């Protein structure tokens, strides 16, 4: 029986491994450098409070892709959860993402949706083709809302001027002229009842899959396997030979309090005068549980150095040049494929990574069955 290796036990690696054993007569080994599965979606209970903590930052599952939604629910029950963060600035706490409530609060008005749409259109600056995050925001909402809710947060989060960042980052956020404060436009949204790690463990629980934790990739492993699927960082896989792709990382201050600390799962601090980006109170991500104490994480962002976890791909112009070199090198390989947020250096959400895992397993299996060239990157990979 053929042996395949998957490097990384996050959503990408787990879904891929599971689908590969379903579609081929193969045995899959999944190796994971960390001591747990689920990658940066890892959840475990806080010892002191019993609260389920999202160890690398809170994750809210959302998708409009019914196959992905059905897929994750095969492995876990999901409870409904709608992401409605708040934004805190000097003048108060506002509804967020920007919606009619925010506009009326911020400008001290009582506009209806039609009036608000006209008002925001007048505020928006006449920029025909926004070339960066700032121009996109100015076109979208005008200077006052941009400076209150986007500029400082973005500068803190990415560590650079918003004019250096692609406009696409802003398109993650809706701006609405009604009272809908749901962060996502997705049809389905929720959180797995017993956490993401239990979910990923169940995806990997198959007789055709072996999982080895605390096991980093080493070059000589490739000889034992028919094919290697890498879901870890693309540049690290090649020992950074063309340089490092830049990532932002985040870190947290943890504090325990009694009762309810901030009355909400997530409050963003969008002002530059506050050093952190957001405060997350994890027990509010599981409102179906009850805990006397509460554990709170204040989140800070910084540049990634050698020993930090890479979370947010920056994809600045220089990064894309380096990425081109790595991608060309990868394309010359015969036995290696790259997948997921780190493997393809793209700012992907969980549902997108799962979609690509499902599609890639099918693509690779069809190529293997036909004896053709195996795909190296997912079809939607772009530099
Ligand atoms: N953003 C912002 N203000 C906020 C929240 C987000 O300006 O209060 C911008 C910021 O540039 C951020 C981007 O929107 O990096 C995407 O935010 P999202 O919440 O999607 O980031 P994630 O949840 O992945 O950390």
Q: Cβ neighbours of residue 86 under 8 Å, at least 6 residues apart?
A: 93, 94, 95, 96, 264, 266, 267, 268
**Residue 154 Cα to ligand 1 middle (Å):** 7
Structure token digits, residue 61:
């599952």
Cβ of 149 closer than 6 Å to ligand 1, yes or no, is yes
- 159-208 pLDDT, tens digit each: 999 999 989 899 889 999 999 999 999 999 999 999 999 999 999 999 99
**Residue 256 Cα to ligand 1 middle (Å):** 26
The average pLDDT across 17-38 equals 98
Which is the closest atom of ligand 1 to the Cα of 157?
Answer: 15
User: What pLDDT is attached to residue 78?
Assistant: 98
User: What pLDDT is attached to residue 31?
Assistant: 98
- Told to judge if 45 belongs to the known catalytic residues of this protein, a careful annotator would answer no
Q: Cβ neighbours of residue 228 under 8 Å, at least 6 residues apart?
A: 4, 5, 6, 7, 221, 222, 335, 336, 337
Cβ of 52 closer than 6 Å to ligand 1, yes or no, is no
Residue nearest to atom 14 of ligand 1 (CA): 170
Catalytic residue among 18, 34, 278, 374: 278
7 — pLDDT class (breaks 50, 70, 90): very high
Q: Is 10 a residue whose pLDDT tops 90?
A: yes
User: What pLDDT is attached to residue 3?
Assistant: 98
Q: Is 107 a residue whose pLDDT tops 90?
A: yes
Q: Is 247 a residue whose pLDDT tops 90?
A: yes
Tell me which long-range contacts 320-328 makes (C-beta under 8 A, separation of at least 24).
320/383, 322/235, 322/242, 322/243, 322/244, 322/245, 323/234, 323/245, 323/383, 324/383, 325/242, 326/234, 326/235, 326/238, 326/242, 326/245, 327/234, 327/377, 327/381, 327/383
User: What pLDDT is attached to residue 334?
Assistant: 87
Residue nearest to atom 2 of ligand 1 (CA): 150
The average pLDDT across 132-157 equals 97
How much is the pTM?
0.96
- Told to judge if 362 belongs to the known catalytic residues of this protein, a careful annotator would answer no
Catalytic residue among 18, 34, 55, 176: 176
Which is the closest atom of ligand 1 to the Cα of 151?
Answer: 7
């Amino acid at each position: 029986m053929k042996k395949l290796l998957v490097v990384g036990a996050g959503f990408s690696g787990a879904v891929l491994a599971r689908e590969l054993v379903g579609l081929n007569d193969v045995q899959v080994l999944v190796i994971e450098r960390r001591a747990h599965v689920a990658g940066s979606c890892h959840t475990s209970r806080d010892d002191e409070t019993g609260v389920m903590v999202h160890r690398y930052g809170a994750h809210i599952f959302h998708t409009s892709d019914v196959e992905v939604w059905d897929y994750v629910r095969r492995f876990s029950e999901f409870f409904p959860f709608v992401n409605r963060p708040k934004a805190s600035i000097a003048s108060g706490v506002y509804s967020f993402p920007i919606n009619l409530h925010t506009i009326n609060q911020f400008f001290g008005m009582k506009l209806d949706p039609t009036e608000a749409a006209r008002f925001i259109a007048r505020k928006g600056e006449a920029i025909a083709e926004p070339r960066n995050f700032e121009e996109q925001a100015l076109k979208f909402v005008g200077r006052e809302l941009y400076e209150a809710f986007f500029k400082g947060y973005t500068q803190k989060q990415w560590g650079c001027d918003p004019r250096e960042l692609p406009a696409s980052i802003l398109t993650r956020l809706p701006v609405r002229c009604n009272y809908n404060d749901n962060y996502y436009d997705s049809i389905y949204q929720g959180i797995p009842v017993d956490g993401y790690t239990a979910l990923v463990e169940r995806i990997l629980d198959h007789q055709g899959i072996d999982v080895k934790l605390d096991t980093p990739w080493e070059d000589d492993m490739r000889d034992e396997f028919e094919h290697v699927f890498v879901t870890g960082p693309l540049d690290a896989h090649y020992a950074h030979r063309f340089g490092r792709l830049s990532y932002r990382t985040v870190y947290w201050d943890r504090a325990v309090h009694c009762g309810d600390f901030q009355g909400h799962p997530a409050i963003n601090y969008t002002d530059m005068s506050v050093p952190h980006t957001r405060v997350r109170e994890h027990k509010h991500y599981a409102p179906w549980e009850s805990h006397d104490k509460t554990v709170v994480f204040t989140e800070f962002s910084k540049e990634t150095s050698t020993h930090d976890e890479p979370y947010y791909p920056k994809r600045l112009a220089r990064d894309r040049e380096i990425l081109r070199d790595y991608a060309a090198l990868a394309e010359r390989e015969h036995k290696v494929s790259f997948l997921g947020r780190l493997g393809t250096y793209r700012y992907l959400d969980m549902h997108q990574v799962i979609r690509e895992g499902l599609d890639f397993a099918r693509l690779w299996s069809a190529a293997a069955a036909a004896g053709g060239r195996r795909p190296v990157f997912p079809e939607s990979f772009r530099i």
